[in-house]
Amino acid sequence: MGAFTKSVALNPGDGRPVTLHLAADSRAALELKPEQIQGWRNLVAEARAMFGARHYLSYHFLYTLSDHVASFGLEHHESSDDRDPERAIVDPELFLADVTLLTHEYSHSWNGKYRRPADLTTPDFQQPMKDDLLWVYEGLTQYLGVLFAARAGLYTPEQFHDAVAIKAARLDTERGRAWRPLVDTATEAQLLYEAPAAGEAWRRAVDFYDEGLLLWLEADSKIRERTGGRKSLDDFCRAFHGGADSGPRVVTYTFEDVVAALNGVAPFDWAGFLRDRVEKLTVHPPLAGIEAEGWRLAWRDSSSDLYRAFETSAKQINLKYSIGLVLNHNEERGRGTIEDVIPGMAAAKAGIAPGMKLVAVNGRAWSKDVLHDALRATAQGAPLELLVQNAGYFKTCKLDYRGGERYPWLERIPGRPDVLSELIQPRAGGR
Ligand SMILES: [Zn+2]
């Protein structure tokens, strides 16, 4: 243990040093590229440009690269415990799939650790935490993590668009919003974090992350609209999370404090805006921010690099947006097992359910290529029959589907200003 480690200074010469510490299962896994180091240095500069102040004396990314620990991030004031697969730095696809891990956790030093919901700030473990404001704690952090990745150059502008498209598409396709408001995913977080994939499209996942991102993007567009483009959500973050440099400390907030801070940037019925999106049942997630900033969710018959990176990283084949099915593609976890189906879409209507195993496609033993070829051919009217195994029973499911392959992208709305591209422009000087 500890045989392969490396530390990299991310803001040399600064009195509040930020350091990336890597610990890997091999020396080869530590081979950082100069552009990766530059991206993380840019992250530190971009966060400083946005917030204007830091609430740590020093900050340490504790980045573990191993296939033998759980993959996740855990935020602290002055550090984060960041865990990825062993080859997450050196494999371009794995790096792309999880590039927002460090940008997200670093944002938590401000949003989550310095500013924290009052009812999540309990004096000891005997008091219950109330997590109804996680759409701020995690939702705004999700927004910041993706935004900082783009401003820091860790995402290209196209990859930023793809990230927004993929999150918007999932939320707009899954059906749980019909019965469960966003706030309930926050209140239920402790159960939803550990819930299995089966049934997720109807149960909802920890949607306060990605739906929070869309909500805060819409808040950004609303601030721009109310101020004639003079202010943005950056101004809210600077006011809410900035202030004076300090060591680690906690300043708590309530829903009313968030509303007041937004009103301080741009007067508006923010309480109504937030309650409509957080507490009410709605058919669609908040997509208006993407559209106000000049883009919209669109569909193509090919997937983006980021989409395929997410599939590889999750060891899945994700056909949610065509036949409404997600398939496990991991040898160790039972390759071919149906992880989830979208209620009302072709696979579910044909009688396919999570837990069944895919055996054959149109009479031929299934593989990724066989499945994609057959799906593509449906656009020309070819049939799609999936032979599935349900415990000891086999059945052939005929899918009523003619749509071919279908994947999410963002496309420009003609004639509308491209605010999204302005949003991701670097803010830090000297670059
Ligand atoms: Zn988080």
Task: For residue 264, give the 3-state DSSP assignment.
Answer: helix
- The rounded Å distance from CA 104 to ligand 1 centre is 6
> Rounded to the nearest whole angstrom, what is the distance from the C-alpha of residue 209 to the centroid of ligand 1?
8
Q: Following DSSP, what letter does each residue of 338-382 receive, concatenated?
A: EEEE-TTSHHHHTT--TT-EEEEETTEE--HHHHHHHHHHGGGT-
CA angle 209, 210, 215 (to 5 degrees): 95
From the list 80, 230, 49, 75, the residue with the least C-alpha distance to 137 is 75
pLDDT digits (tens, 9 = 90+) for 372-422: 999 999 999 999 999 999 999 999 999 999 999 999 999 999 999 999 999
CB atoms < 10 A from the CB of 255, how many? 18
DSSP state at residue 129:
P
- Each as own residue / partner, the long-range contacts of residues 370-378 (CB below 8 Å, 24 or more positions apart, any chain) are 371/317, 371/319, 371/327, 372/405, 375/319, 375/322, 375/323, 375/404, 375/405, 376/301, 376/404, 376/405, 377/404, 378/402, 378/403, 378/404
Alpha-carbon distance 208 to 62, whole Å? 26
Cα dist. 214→136, 182, 198, 277, 278 in Å?
12, 12, 25, 10, 12
Distance 72 CA to ligand 1 centre (A): 10
Residue appearing with tokens 């020396």: 27
CATH 2.30.42.10 fits 322-405, yes or no: yes
Token match 């490396």: residue?
6
Q: How far is CA 159 from CA 154, 163, 303, in A?
A: 9, 6, 12
What's the 148 CA to ligand 1 centre distance in angstroms?
14
Q: What is the pLDDT of residue 331?
A: 75
Could you tell me the distance, in angstroms and rounded to a whole number, from the CA of residue 134 to the centre of ligand 1? Answer: 9
| 337 CA → ligand 1 middle, Å | 29
Q: Give residue 328's pLDDT.
A: 94
Q: Give the start-to-end residue ranges of the domains of the chain.
A: 322-405
Question: What is the distance in A from the centroid of ligand 1 to the CA of 108?
Answer: 7
Compute, in angstroms, the gap from residue 310 CA to the centroid of ligand 1.
18
Predicted local confidence at residue 190, as pLDDT: 92
Rounded distance from Cα 65 to ligand 1 centre (Å): 19
> What pLDDT does 333 receive?
67
Distance CA 92, CA 99 (A): 10
Distance between CA atoms of 26 and 38, rounded to whole angstroms? 23
Q: Which helix (H) or strand (E) holds 319?
A: strand 316-319
C-alpha of residue 74 to centroid of ligand 1, in Å? 7
**pLDDT tens, position by position, 215-249:** 999 999 999 999 999 999 999 999 999 999 999 99
Q: Which residue ranges of the chain lie beneath pLDDT 50?
A: none
Closest of 86, 74, 71 to residue 22, by C-alpha = 86
